[in-house]
Chains A and B, each alone.
Chain A
Amino acid sequence: MKLRDFILRRVLLAIPVIFGVLTITWFLSYVVGDPLAMFITERTNPAAIPGIIQDHGFNEPLVIQYFLYLRTLLAGDWGVSYSTGGDLPVLTVIARKFPATIELAIVAMVFAVILGVPLGILSATRKDKPIDHFTRVFSLAGVSMPIFWFALLLKYVLFYQFSVWGLPYLPSGDRVDNELWKTVLHNGVGYDFTSSITGFVLVDSLLYGQPILFGDAVLHLIMPGFCLGYLTLAIITRMMRSSMLEVMKEDYITLARSKGLTERIVIYRHALRNALIPTVTVIGLAFGGLMSGAVLTETIFNWPGLGRWATQAILVSDMAAINGFVLLVAFIFVSANLIVDLTYGALDPRIRYG
């Protein structure tokens, strides 16, 4: 009952945010910018331009234009992106690029959470011991190292040097080794993301029933995944450490100890859940950030995701693509916030009533 109200309230609160974003993007691209740019390319016949203006109502008053814009958006017409080659509808491009980004984001997040949370706990429970010093240096490096530099360093060592030394080395980029896929699948194209089953290489390779392709996909994910996850890992570790230290000072920890529980149970049962509450915020927002594409990592590892597409679009003023990207990112962040709030409710019984 109360929980339902809480969820309902949070979902309803997301609506005005989405509208705000829609309005701001509209304002920037239709009022400040030139909306025509979204519908014409170098190849558009100049004679057709008045027709386009007429069709899209660009000669109407702004208020009418705003509602027309909302209507076309809701109808699923987000314009055409010409920077991808082949003038595809924006939604189609997103549908093709998004899985690559999601896959990378998930891997990065798994790295970050699986390593970050335990490292944070370890660091907090062994405060000022060697492991704590190590973790602090490790996470400080994570937040302060420029990601492109770190990515190049990884590539230099794990790809170039390893291959020079004759060691097994990691691939330097791309989602798959397409030659390998061609050979295994005998289809002449290799991994074709336009006709793939799910768009997730890890899933598709298994669906094809080819463990060797799955292995290939994993190898390709290690470097970009770790590179992208390192920053988040560092943030999670630091957050986890500080909130754990905070929680360990709480009275209920003293009470838990006074019951005769072992330190292990005190930490993992009584402290962890409370310490996770602030960490979840960081995790959620970082995930939102990862999902909206990582420009530098995707560029360096030649990863065909949203980030690289958005950069391309900006470089050639592909307005429809930029617009679509901004809207998508807004949706992702709103949903990430929503999920964070709901997780709060699940972790902390006091919040549902707040």
Chain B
Amino acid sequence: MSQSQDLVLSIKGLTTNFYTYEGVVKALDGIELSLKRGDTMGVVGETGCGKSVTAKCVLRLIEPPGRIDGGQILFYDRDPKTGETQETDIVQLTPLEMLSIRGNRIAIVFQDPATYPNPVFRIGAQIAEVVTLHQDLGREALEVRIKELEESLKNSPSPEHQAKIREQIEHYVSMLENPPKPDRKYARKAAWAKAVDMLRLVRMPSPDQIANQYPHELSGGMRQRALIAMALACNPSILICDEATTALDVTVQAQVLNLLNILKKEIGASILIITHDLGVVAETCNSVTVMYAGTTVESAGTKQLFENPVHPYTIGLLTAIPKLHENKERLDQIPGTVPNLINPPTGCRFHPRCAFATDICVSDRPSLEEVLPGHYVACHHPQGNL
């Protein structure tokens, strides 16, 4: 599609099936998706379109009976120090190799803040866990130790004692250049401090206190912030938000979306926002991919897509939602229901619900074509202004 240099994620022909007793659920059938570095892309579609499955594929979190049966998920990770970009096909990684990417280079925030944090661990511990897992805390642990010594220097009774402490401080400062593997106690403290920092980053009031609380003691909005903090703790290249604001109230959602917009500038991660809410896309994303029944149907810049939707499904989706700023007696509705993916429609999967469908739509699967610069659509009869 575009130059691979400025891409951070490129999904090509991704196919995922779920082997259930009722039959094979063809959840993803040749998904195409490209995320540019620094971009925020919305992935929209209705229940069962495969948007969440795609997210789980990117993290290789598909559990049996599900299986990735084909395609590539190319991840271009850039080393923050050297600036070199490395291409990895996530589909080909071993489970062990995947562990160092998951939660570290690619992180995810899930939908329901009520059920995703582990109820029996403190918020701070849950964030610190991911920090300890992926980061070598050598330097941070030394800094914690030095800080503690400086603290005790202030309360030190005798000059000899003070001299001794100073000596120790110097010793540790000299090690800062080339920090050794941290010992457990200080690594734990450093991870905790990092967790508190992350809570501060997501604009949590009194982060020290919050870190010591259990999930049930926080409101939904606060918990979702904590989960965002957890996801960002290792400075990931890609942050995936899987319906991250769906379960929140409108004003809380506005707070969280606003936070994401601010953080976008601060953290430099590329963001994939998975949602069914076109409003959320318009508020936060600069490009959109529309999915339907396990296929990519349209992909374009946000403005372009909202102003000039080309795929009949996208058009239907945009006109079916009631809007605040217009009065309409009746809503346009897309007839029928989302197809069963065990026996999906032949050809274009949208054809049974499409007003423009012809014979070719029943027999041939349309491929994703660039109809306008940067505007891709998979349709035999594209609408809109072309």
Residues of chain B contacted by A254 (CB below 8 angstroms): 61, 110, 116
Partner of B119, one of A256, A261, A274, A353: A274
| Min CB gap A247→B, angstroms | 10
CB distance from A14 to the nearest CB of B (A): 26
- SS of B interface (majority): loop
Closest Cβ of chain A to B142, distance in Å, is 25
Number of A-B contacts (CB under 8 A): 65
Cβ of B353 within 8 Å of any chain A Cβ, yes or no, is: no
CA–CA, A349 to B119, complex, Å? 7
Return B20 CB to nearest CB of chain A, in Å.
15
Whether B103 and A260, one on each chain, are in contact in the complex, defined by CB atoms closer than 8 angstroms, is: yes
Please tell me if the beta carbons of A255 and B61 are within 8 angstroms of each other in the complex.
no
A251 within 8 A of B: yes
* Interchain residue pairs with CB less than 8 A apart (20): A252-B115, A255-B117, A255-B118, A256-B118, A257-B61, A258-B110, A259-B102, A259-B133, A260-B99, A260-B100, A260-B101, A260-B103, A260-B104, A260-B130, A260-B134, A261-B103, A273-B120, A349-B120, A350-B214, A353-B216
Within 8 A of A (CB), among B65-120: 98-104, 107-108, 110, 112, 115-120
| Interchain CA distance A257-B99 in the complex, whole Å | 9
B129 at the interface (CB under 8 A from A): yes
Instruction: Give the CA-CA distance A258 to B240 in the complex, in Å.
Output: 11
Choose one: B108, B115, B117, B214; the contact of A258 (CB below 8 Å).
B108
Closest chain A CB from B214 CB (angstroms) = 4
Query: In the complex, what residue of chain A is closest to B102 when comparing beta carbons?
Result: A260
Say whether B118 contacts A252, CB under 8 Å: yes
Does A349 lie within 8 Å of B115, measured CB to CB?
Answer: no
Is A187 close to B, CB under 8 A?
no
Is the CB of A347 closer than 8 A to any CB of chain B? yes
Query: Complex Cα distance A254/B240, Å?
Result: 14
At the interface, yes or no: B8 with Cβ under 8 Å from chain A? no
Interfacial residues, chain B to chain A (CB-CB below 8 A): 59, 61, 98-104, 107-108, 110, 112, 115-120, 129-130, 133-134, 214, 216, 227, 230
CA distance A316 to B385 in the complex (A): 100
Residue of B nearest to A253 (CB): B118
Interface centre among B59, B100, B103, B117 (most CB of A within 10 A): B103
Give chain B nearest CB distance to A107 CB in angstroms: 30
Q: Does A348 contact B (CB under 8 A)?
A: yes
Instruction: Tell me the complex Cα distance, A251–B57, Å.
Output: 17
Residues from 254 to 293 in A contacting B, C-beta threshold 8 Å: 254-262, 270, 273-274
User: Can you add 20 more A-B contacts, CB < 8 Å, to A260-B134, A348-B119?
Assistant: A251-B116, A252-B116, A252-B117, A252-B119, A254-B110, A254-B116, A255-B118, A257-B61, A258-B59, A258-B108, A258-B110, A259-B102, A259-B130, A260-B101, A261-B103, A261-B133, A274-B118, A274-B119, A274-B120, A353-B216
